[in-house]
Chain A
Amino acid sequence: MKNHENHVSSDSLNWTVLVILLILTAITILAIKIHLGAFTVALALILASIKVTIVLTYFMHLKFENLLLRLMVGGVFLLFAVVIVITFIDYYFR
């Protein structure tokens, strides 16, 4: 079976994605350096989540995959988020 249905990402798209990821990394470093108090951790995690989503979507070609695979990946990240939330609810209310 050939991989004939696969999407081919252009080099320019890959470069664009890299530049965006590097800019987000710079923003993360700067944001943490200026100390935003309690929001620092939250901001770092939000920025990391955006970067991860970009890598999954473009570098890992999820944008061009079938719906089943995209739902599975989304479901796994959702499950992980739920596990973290439940862990912390347990921790703060015991």
Chain B
Amino acid sequence: MSTNEHSEFIDSDTGKLGMWLFLFTELFLFGGLFIVYSVMRSKYADDFHHAALELNAFVGATNTVVLLVSSMTVAMSLTAIQQKRGGKAMGLLFITLLLAGVFMVNKYFEWGHKFGLHLYPGSDVMKSLPHGEIMFFGLYYMMTGLHALHVIIGGILLTIVILKIKSGKINSEHYLLQENGALYWHLVDLIWIFLFPLLYLIT
């Protein structure tokens, strides 16, 4: 490694700063949707109330717990790699991936149930709803869909991290990729922390 001149230029502080700048753009991507949601909510309060009753708060709460636990396992995995315990680090990331899988299965059943009721964008049932309810379900699909996409990307990123720990490319000396992967995963959690009460709890 020391013979590789390129590694001299990998500064972990700069690498992390770059990741944070990217996370800021992600915050504004979801932030824009949150602003649309809050404006529409104040405009169509009654429609949003009726539409939100359709969402299953229990599934939402389950997924909240799943994501919070997965956020901890990612944080613990970083501790493990810093303490030179690669096996533990990989195990914890694997648990994180399993939890991501649980989240996606829950989401599949949740969306599947709504599709069964013909509540999806463009359906005849949806078109017959009041304008505010169409807005609510549109935002619901857009926000949870975009979030689920981030869960999938985060899962792929963490899989790459596991493989790199296995091959020794990520170790107790060089773990910037794992740090950044962990930051991305925590972002997925952060967004859900706001999505859950706004979509599932407040009716």
Residues of A within 8 A of B (CB): 1-4, 6, 8-11, 14-15, 17-18, 21-22, 25, 28-29, 32, 40-41, 44-45, 47-48, 51-52, 55-56, 58-60, 65-66, 68-69, 72-73, 76, 80, 83-84, 87-88, 91
Contacts and interface: CB of A to CB of B under 8 A. Distances in A.
A17 B72 contact: yes
In the complex, the 3 A-B pairs of residues with the closest C-beta atoms, listed nearest first:
A44-B197, A18-B72, A32-B201
B20 A72 contact: yes
B79 A14 contact: yes
Given A10-B79, A80-B27, A15 B194 contact: no
Given A44-B198, A91-B39, A60 B8 contact: no
B72 A6 contact: no
Nearest to A28: B197
A14 B76 CA distance: 7
B157 interface: no
Given A1-B10, A22-B65, A32 B176 contact: no
B61 interface: yes
Interface residues of B, number: 51
Interface string B180-198: 0011001001100110111
B194 A2 contact: no
B13 interface: yes
B72 A32 contact: no
A83 B71 CA distance: 28
30 contacts: A1-B9, A2-B12, A2-B173, A3-B173, A3-B175, A3-B176, A3-B179, A4-B173, A9-B75, A11-B79, A14-B79, A22-B65, A25-B65, A40-B202, A45-B197, A47-B197, A48-B194, A52-B193, A55-B186, A55-B189, A55-B190, A56-B186, A58-B75, A59-B186, A65-B16, A68-B17, A80-B28, A84-B38, A88-B42, A91-B39
A23 to B, nearest CB: 11
B69 interface: yes
A32 B65 contact: no
A21 B20 contact: no
Interface in B26-48: 27-28, 31, 34-35, 38-39, 42
